Amino acid sequence: MLNVKRKASGFTLVEVVISIFILSMGTLTIIGLISDNLGIISASKRMVVGSNLAQEGIEVVRNIRDSNWIEYELYDTGISPGDYCVDYNSTSLISCADYTLFWNGSNYNHSGFGDATFFSRRINISNQVDSEGIGYIQVQSIVSWDNSQTVVETHLYDWK
């Protein structure tokens, strides 16, 4: 009879170790990508919220100017040069030492009600004159968070 040697089928220990290493590296790469994407999503969310908070600050000051017109007052009544805080429903500019915004579950505010956030909003008002000699109010809404900042600026004229 012929003695035939059969090749053993199966994986050697080296093949198993290499396979586990390749699968582990693939899994770690996927986990790293997911983690990076979550960080980017969080940063993007903060940028959108910060931009909206800055725009809200501009709109509050514009509303104060428009309310002055409705009440037949000078357009710049109550809008003096300086740095201020405003809440979404403010009818006047508020001097404050701390520009930190608080979240009360439905909106951001400076009044201290709710949880302190990493956002701060400062409204800077200055009187300016354009190239034609017409005066206007320069309004800057500066919102800062983490190591980021967004600035929205507008010029309010007495055009009415």
Q: pTM for this one?
A: 0.78
DSSP output for 4-58: -PPPPPS--HHHHHHHHHHHHHHHHHHHHHHHHHHHHHHHHHHHHHHHHHHHHHH
Domain of residue 61: give its range. Answer: 13-156
Structural domain contains residue 99: yes
Query: Greatest CA span in the chain, whole angstroms?
Result: 118
Residue 93 lies in a domain: yes
pLDDT in tens, 50-84: 999 999 999 999 999 999 888 888 888 999 999 99
* Helix and strand element counts for the chain (H, E): 1, 6
Distance between CA atoms of residues 108 and 131, nearest Å: 37
The model's pLDDT over 113-155, given as tens digits with 9 standing for 90+, comes to 899 999 999 999 999 999 999 999 999 999 999 999 999 999 9
Is 6 inside any structural domain?
A: no
Residue 36 has pLDDT above 80, yes or no: yes
Tens-place pLDDT, residues 19-31: 999 999 999 999 9
Predicted pLDDT of residue 1? 58
Q: Give how many domains the chain has, as a whole number.
A: 1
- Is the pLDDT assigned to residue 12 strictly greater than 90? no
Which residues, other chains included, contact 100 with Cβ-Cβ below 8 Å and sequence gap of 6+? Answer: 110, 116, 117, 119, 120
